């Protein structure tokens, strides 16, 4: 089991490639479609995902795709399972398995992610449907007197139980403890909370006998809060993120794929590139697992029109290429200008 998990995890962080997060819930994809005045029907959701998965850049820059329960069961217009389109592009199909963040009892303003009940059986089914990795997202909010150790530990414990069940099912777990950008906190406060959350996470993963070589970490970057008056620059974000990760993440982890977490397309790419181009001695691969930062441009270009598919695919190919370059430290702002 360990060898197969490790080889899948290594494939997920292949050089110059990253993960497409296409696991929006029905509610979230509706909001995205509302922004382009497109009805969120099953057919439209299928058509949109299909155009992404059929883009040529998938083979060059995408190592894996996180799917939602509906999507992993869907077939393309010609009857081909969407999972098979992903495999044909050389990428690994994955599945979101958590049931969302809910209010944490006794902890006002804090949340814990649910979804452990019945997870063993669901993972077995998803493996049969082609999933070879899974994702579980914890949400940690910075505010007055929060996060509490209680909240951080509750989420780390759930992530560890999920990860152990994934490995039992021969599925690589992506563990995602997201410290949210929302709020007026400083970049140093984000550093402090992120370090605490990661150290708690790895303590719990150790207790639950999770094999780190068969896991992937999906963390936030260390950034200033969205309402902070002083915003950390690209180089500061890169230096503090790498320093934080080195303090907390064991070298046995094959790779770290960042979430974009509300950053602009440009910022998410620039920050990732600065980490890989900064001359840091990194024990793990640093890449991306972006949703909106990969999809905002193609979604707008598509706008629900079949005739716009080539333009949408070109927009997706560009963002995938930019982030693929950033994953090797080879991106520059000039490349963005060339596309414009």
Using 50, 70 and 90 to split pLDDT, how confident is the model at 2? low
176 is catalytic: yes
pLDDT of amino acid 339:
63
Is the distance from CB of 287 to CB of 17 less than 8 angstroms?
yes
- Alpha carbons within 13 angstroms on the beta-carbon side of residue 179 total 30
DSSP H or E stretch at residue 299: helix 292-302
| Annotated catalytic residue, options 218, 229, 236, 239 | 218
195 is catalytic: no
Q: Is the pTM of this model over 0.95?
A: yes
Asked if residue 227 belongs to a domain, the reply is yes
For all residues of the chain together, what is the average pLDDT? 96
Is the distance from CB of 12 to CB of 19 less than 8 angstroms?
yes
pLDDT tens-digit readout, 129-161: 999 999 999 999 999 999 999 999 999 999 999
Asked if residue 1 belongs to a domain, the reply is no
158-192 as b/e, with b when 16 or more CB fall inside 10 Å?
Answer: bbbbbbbbbbebebbbbbbbbbbbebebbbebbbb
Q: Which of 317, 236, 318 is nearest to 271 (CA)?
A: 236
Average pLDDT over residues 3-30: 95
Alpha-carbon distance values, 35 to 38, 292, 325, 337 (Å): 8, 13, 29, 26
pLDDT tens-digit readout, 279-313: 999 999 999 999 999 999 999 999 999 999 999 99
Is the distance from CB of 127 to CB of 169 less than 8 angstroms?
yes
Is the distance from CB of 323 to CB of 269 less than 8 angstroms?
yes
| Annotated catalytic residue, options 24, 50, 176, 178 | 176
Q: What is the CATH number of the domain that holds 49?
A: 3.20.20.70
Asked if residue 26 belongs to a domain, the reply is yes
Is residue 16 over pLDDT 70?
yes
**How many domains in the chain?**
1
Q: Which domain holds residue 310?
A: 6-339
pLDDT of amino acid 3:
73
Asked if residue 224 belongs to a domain, the reply is yes
Q: Which of 317, 331, 241, 316 is nearest to 286 (CA)?
A: 241
pLDDT tens-digit readout, 35-66: 999 999 999 999 999 999 999 999 999 999 99
């Amino acid at each position: 089991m360990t060898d197969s998990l490790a080889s899948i995890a290594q494939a997920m962080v292949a050089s110059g490639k990253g993960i497409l997060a296409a696991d929006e819930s029905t509610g979230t994809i509706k909001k995205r479609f509302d922004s382009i005045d497109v009805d969120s029907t099953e057919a439209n959701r299928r058509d949109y995902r299909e155009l992404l998965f059929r883009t040529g850049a998938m083979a060059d820059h995408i190592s894996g795709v996180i799917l939602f329960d509906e999507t992993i069961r869907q077939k393309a217009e010609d009857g081909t399972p969407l999972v098979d389109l992903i495999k044909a592009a050389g990428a690994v199909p994955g599945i979101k398995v958590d049931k969302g963040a809910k209010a944490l009892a006794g902890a006002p303003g804090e949340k814990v992610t649910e979804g452990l009940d019945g997870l063993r059986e669901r993972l077995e089914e998803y493996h049969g449907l082609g999933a070879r990795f899974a994702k579980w997202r914890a949400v940690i909010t910075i505010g007055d007197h929060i996060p509490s150790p209680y909240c951080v530990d509750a989420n780390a414990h759930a992530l560890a139980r999920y990860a152990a069940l994934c490995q039992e099912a021969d599925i690589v777990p992506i563990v995602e403890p997201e410290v949210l950008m929302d709020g007026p906190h400083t970049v140093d406060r984000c550093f402090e909370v992120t370090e605490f959350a990661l150290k708690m996470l790895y303590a719990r993963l150790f207790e639950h006998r999770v094999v780190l070589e068969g896991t992937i970490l999906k963390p936030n970057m260390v950034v200033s809060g969205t309402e902070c008056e002083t915003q950390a620059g690209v180089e500061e974000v890169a230096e503090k993120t790498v320093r934080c990760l080195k303090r907390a993440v064991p070298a046995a982890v094959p790779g770290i794929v960042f979430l974009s977490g509300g950053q602009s397309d440009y910022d998410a790419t620039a920050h990732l590139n600065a980490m890989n181009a900064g001359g840091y001695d990194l024990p793990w691969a640093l890449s991306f697992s972006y949703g909106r930062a990969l999809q905002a441009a193609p979604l707008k270009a598509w706008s629900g029109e079949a005739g716009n598919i080539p333009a949408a695919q070109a927009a997706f190919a560009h963002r995938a290429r930019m982030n693929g370059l950033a994953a090797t430290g080879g991106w520059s702002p000039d490349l963005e200008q060339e596309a414009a």
